[in-house]
Amino acid sequence: MDNHDNNNNNNNNKTPMVRIQSTVEMGSFEERSVIEFEDESLESPASIPRKKHSFHAAPHISADGSDHCYPEEIIRNSVIDSIKIVVFSAKINLLMPFGPLAILVDKLSGNHSWVFFLSLLGIIPLAERLGYATEQLAWFTGPTVGGLLNATFGNATELIISIHALKIGMIRVVQQSLLGSILSNMLLVLGCAFFGGGLVFFEQEQVFNKGAVAVDSGLLLMAVMGLLFPAVLHSTHTELHFGTSELALSRFSSCIMLVAYASYLVFQLRRQKNVYVPVSEGETQIEGSSDDEEAPEISKWESIIWLSILTAWISVLSEYLVDAIEGASVSLKIPVAFISVILLPIVGNAAEHAGAVMFAVKDKLDISLGVAIGSSTQIAMFGIPFCVVVGWVMGRPMDLNFQLFETATLFITVLVVAFMLQLLQVSLYT
């Protein structure tokens, strides 16, 4: 850290650039993602004195590297207190009434446009609170189970919407919404994070973890390969059994991708248990200070109950949302492709996207990259193959053939982002 501070002082008058720290210097990318989400604009004044929850929560790990799980009896909240913490602690929850209103409009008028619009608004705070409940539960389960929880529920909203769309046979909506989630994370969110961070910290360097970004980029390229083969097979008309060969290839590739993602999780959770500490320029690390130590706000069973309630409520609203897509497309004269690629991904990740930009503005660019690229990796390596397997179980021909144009778009996006990050590394030494 002394060398880091000296470099920072020497570069005060130089042209600003983004500097990449090595894995040894900064530790695992995902492990440092417990930096607090300090955006007070999303919280009510009553929640400010309480310890804020982490954006990607993980169980606290002590300075000696040992796991530390909070005992359940530490937190004793009444039902009213629990509701206040979960429902009334964030201003984004002001959108929650739009969910019941969407159901009411559907029953009374059946106007697909209003049902679709209200359902979109109603799901946004539920998705954010679902992530919060997952983070709170992770404090009591240990790092391995906590990491698996975050991996499972990290994109639960998109998966729930996709499953409802699969049930009624809207396979293209599923494919385009998952593709849109990856593109919005890698282009919109990452671009806004770089732009916002550059505006605020234009006179100094911002740091992020080169090693973790390289791993995620490699997994994304692997996922693109899995999507590319069925699309090429379909476009070249070289399949032995038309309509079935690409489906069989997609299911086989999906199983391989799920195994690869599981192996990646095992590597991250078992091989990289370092101390969870924030790293940013000019910061002094105060480990062991009780004032800076995070703590869960609700108990383990409260977290489980809230997870169940929020998942069920998102599932109900998702059904109304999916049923209203085609009607809303006709009445609003908006293509279904635009709704699937643009609007649906924003719904599931609105709070997460805003948080990624906030982190970059607060000189925590590595966490912004974790949200943008890490979430894209999770969707590509877990979300898409999972939907293929679920469609297999349902008897729906969900495959990895996202059509040649969409697959090429994803391939070019991954390459552009990977090369851009590599160029940032090269610029450090020029």
Selection from 61-70, 151-160, 274-283 with the highest mean pLDDT: 151-160
Tens digit of each residue's pLDDT (9 = 90 or more) over 383-423: 999 999 999 999 999 999 888 888 889 999 998 888 888 77
pLDDT digits (tens, 9 = 90+) for 166-175: 999 899 999 9
Cβ partners under 8 Å of residue 138, min gap 6: 57, 58, 59, 145, 146, 147, 149, 150
What's the CA gap between 411 and 398, in Å, rounded? 20
Is the pLDDT higher at 234 or at 247?
247
287 band by pLDDT with thresholds 50, 70 and 90: very low
Residue 144 pLDDT grade (very low, low, confident, very high; cuts 50, 70, 90): low
Among 386, 398, 397, smallest CA distance to 255 is for 386
Report pLDDT for 188.
87
- Pairwise CA distance, residues 34 & 287, whole Å: 14
Q: Residue 286 pLDDT > 50, yes or no?
A: no
**Owner of token pair 């210097």:** 25
Closest to 401 measured CA to CA, from 240, 220, 260, 244:
244
Q: Say how far apart CA 151 and CA 375 lie, in whole Å.
A: 9
Asked if residue 3 has pLDDT above 50, the reply is no
- Using a pLDDT cut of 70, give the percent of the chain over it: 71
The whole-number average pLDDT for the span 201-217 is 76
Separation between Cα atoms, residue 429 and residue 218, nearest integer Å = 23
CA distance 58 to 337: 36
Q: Is the pLDDT of residue 22 over 80?
A: no
Taking only Cα atoms into account, the Rg of the chain, rounded to an integer number of angstroms, comes to: 22
pLDDT at site 129: 86
The mean pLDDT value for 188-216 works out to 80
Mean pLDDT of the chain: 75
Chain position carrying tokens 């650039």: 17
- The pLDDT of residue 118 is 92
Mean pLDDT in residue range 43-56: 37
- Residue 359: the pLDDT is 81
β 18-21/206-209 pair status: parallel
From CA 336, how far away is CA 324, in angstroms rounded?
Answer: 11
User: 240, exposed or middle or buried, with CB in 10 Å at 0-12, 13-18, 19+?
Assistant: exposed
> Looking at the predicted structure, is the pLDDT value of residue 273 above 80?
no
* pTM metric for this prediction: 0.73
By mean pLDDT, which of 36-45, 313-322, 333-342 is the weakest? 36-45
Provide the β-strand partners of residue 132. Answer: none
What are the structure tokens assigned to 26, written together?
A: 């900064």
What is the per-residue pLDDT for 393? 93
Q: Answer with the residue of higher pLDDT: 346 or 63.
A: 346
Count the neighbouring beta carbons within 10 Å of the beta carbon of residue 392.
17
> Is the pLDDT at 361 greater than 80, yes or no?
yes
Say which residue, 141 or 55, is predicted with more confidence: 141
CA distance 388 to 131: 24
Instruction: Judge residue 113's burial from the number of C-beta atoms within 10 Å of its C-beta, 0-12 exposed, 13-18 middle, 19 or more buried.
Output: middle
Residue bearing tokens 């530490």? 74
- E strand residue ranges, 190-314: 206-209
pLDDT at 343 over 70: yes
pLDDT surpasses 90 at 356: no
Q: For the chain, give the percent of residues with pLDDT over 90.
A: 18
Q: How large is the average pLDDT for residues 51-55? A: 36
Strand partners, 36: 54
Both tokens of residue 14?
Answer: 């130089």
